[in-house]
Amino acid sequence: MRPVVVVSAALALWAALGLPAHAGRSCAPHRPTVQGIERGMQLAQQTAQALDASGARVVLLGRAGQDLTKYGLRYSHLGWAYKSEAGPWRVVHKLNECGTAVAAVYRQGLGEFFLDDLWRYEAVWAVPTPEVQARLLPVLQANAQATQLHVRPYSMVSYAWGEKYQQSNQWALETLAAAMEPVSVRQRAQAQAWLRFKGYEPSVLKIGPLTRLGGRVTAANVAFDDHPPEKRFSDRIETVTVDSALVWLERAQLAGAPQVTR
């Protein structure tokens, strides 16, 4: 049975208890600080203003939840943001349940999206073409469609062309494929075939055996066993990243150039 999109609780409760699901950031225990909440809310407000000014109804929205510069990456997590009928922007994205190897799809406001203990207070977003927006909007608004290709098994570095696990950015691109080709894309393998056909290229992270072993032993949400042995043992980990998604969307003429809000 597919999980449904979770509508988050009130922001005050979230800030008091801490969100128990994360993506694109460390799962180390922490409590929100006043400064962090203020900066996150300020970024959310600035992003909302920028998105409103763009005239878009749907955008790809990313954040920098952890430092990935050693892998040549600037952003860690993305979701699809859409303008709701009521006015506020909502973000549909996949979040890992900290300390576990599973994840779920959530629907949140911009405030919650940017209150997740960011590494850098910066948003990146890209406006899809009108056709892409028109196809994505009804998918994001409907729980069943938004979770059609979602699976619970999760690894932060899941193989871009595998089906054993599914990380957050991978879910976002596979959902795009299903939205663009609703008749022919009904399974993850079909979504990945569409992404290949459209020229998507995952990021290749150089992760050595000691790092792989340490990650698998100390974190339930990190696994490498879905990567082909010839790539894994040559330290080539191919996974879906925000940076690669932004480059591909522009190159494939599915979205405009990335925009940054600080």
* Cα(172)–Cα(164) distance, integer angstroms: 16
**Contact status, residue 170 vs residue 77, Cβ threshold 8 Å:** no
122: three-class secondary structure by DSSP: strand
The strand pair at 58-64 and 21-22 is best described as unpaired
* Cα(172)–Cα(174) distance, integer angstroms: 6
pLDDT in tens, 29-53: 567 788 888 999 999 999 999 999 9
pLDDT in tens, 201-227: 999 999 877 465 544 445 789 999 999
For range 242-258, the mean pLDDT: 98
pLDDT in tens, 54-112: 999 999 999 999 999 999 999 999 999 999 998 999 999 999 987 789 999 999 999 99
* Cα(44)–Cα(36) distance, integer angstroms: 12
pTM: 0.88
Q: Residue length, the chain? A: 262
Q: Which two tokens stand for residue 16?
A: 């008091």
**Contact status, residue 28 vs residue 98, Cβ threshold 8 Å:** no
Phi, psi (rounded to 5 degrees) for 90:
-120, 150
